[in-house]
């Protein structure tokens, strides 16, 4: 990691992302969360509660991207991982926040495909904030991406476009598109920002953070093993719900058992 809190925060502010160079979540917590992830994918819910209604359900095609919403509701080991204090402490260093709360979680399991095969699940270039109208535009929101497997360059790692967060939302992003090159050619970056792709290469327990406006996406996984991770959406004390929008992703925000506060120095 960078040496001082000031340098970490400056790097994030300038580039719109931060990648920790050492694992942040302890190995035993990661291993337990991985077992929980596979149980949830099988439809086994240790807590007795189901995840939130999700596009991927147990028994669905394993060659597709598995994306399960709020898996922490269904498994206590997943909850322990996404609520780990070390995650909150590093997030506070990165953002300078006094309070950090988890407000939504996604399980992401990307299968490996034959590199000779042109197809395979990817995640199109997008900005998270384009899918978050439940918050006011000035809210301080960001995402922690926690690796549960070894995320190598061949595993279809998430990649960031540095500086793309500086001018807010712009048109063209699409999480659901597999055609990254087509999206790249259609997106008009803010003036003065060159297209550069920085991959988030992480060991299990490793974490990267990105700003709500940072353009990011990921290609296909050809590593020979599934790429396993959690996307943990976070907010700081500088965030406000949009009173004019239906609360779907934010419906659990007042229940700290479901949406834990992982750092609070107010």
Could you tell me the CATH number of the domain that includes residue 182? 2.60.120.620
| Mean pLDDT for the chain overall | 95
Name the residue range of residue 119's domain.
5-264
In this predicted model, what pLDDT tens digit does every residue of 201-228 receive, in sequence order? 999 999 999 999 999 999 999 999 999 9
Contacts 24+ apart (CB under 8 A), 94-98: 94/8, 94/9, 94/12, 94/18, 94/142, 94/209, 95/9, 95/12, 95/140, 95/142, 95/209, 95/236, 96/5, 96/9, 97/140, 97/236, 97/237, 97/238, 97/263, 98/236, 98/237, 98/264, 98/265, 98/266
pLDDT in tens, 118-160: 678 999 999 999 999 999 999 999 999 999 999 999 999 999 9
**Overall domain count for the chain:** 1
Q: What is the pLDDT of residues 171-205, one digit of tens each?
A: 889 999 988 999 999 898 888 899 999 999 999 99
Q: What is the pTM for the complete model shown?
A: 0.96
């Amino acid at each position: 990691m960078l040496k001082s809190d000031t340098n970490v925060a400056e790097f994030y502010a300038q580039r719109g992302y931060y990648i920790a160079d050492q694992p942040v979540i302890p190995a035993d917590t990661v291993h337990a969360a991985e077992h929980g992830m596979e149980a949830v994918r099988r439809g086994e819910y240790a807590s007795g509660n189901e995840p939130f209604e999700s596009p991927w359900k147990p028994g669905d095609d394993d060659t597709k991207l598995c994306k399960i919403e709020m898996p922490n509701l269904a498994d206590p080991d997943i909850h322990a991982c996404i609520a780990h204090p070390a995650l909150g402490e590093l997030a506070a260093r990165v953002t300078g926040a006094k309070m950090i709360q988890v407000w939504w979680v996604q399980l992401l399991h990307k299968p490996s495909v034959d590199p000779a095969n042109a197809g395979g699940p990817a995640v199109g270039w997008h900005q998270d904030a384009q899918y978050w109208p439940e918050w006011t535009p000035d809210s301080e929101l960001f995402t922690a991406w926690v690796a549960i497997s070894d995320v190598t360059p061949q595993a279809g790692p998430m990649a960031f476009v540095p500086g793309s967060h500086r001018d807010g939302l712009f048109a063209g992003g699409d999480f659901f598109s597999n055609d990254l090159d087509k999206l790249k050619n259609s997106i008009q970056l803010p003036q003065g920002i060159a297209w550069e792709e920085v991959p988030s290469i992480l060991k299990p327990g490793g974490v990267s953070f990105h700003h709500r406006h940072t353009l990011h996406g990921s290609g296909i996984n050809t590593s020979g093993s599934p790429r396993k991770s959690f996307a943990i959406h976070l907010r700081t004390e500088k965030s406000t719900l949009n009173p004019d929008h239906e609360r779907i992703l934010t419906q659990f925000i007042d229940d700290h058992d479901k949406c834990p506060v992982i750092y609070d120095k107010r």
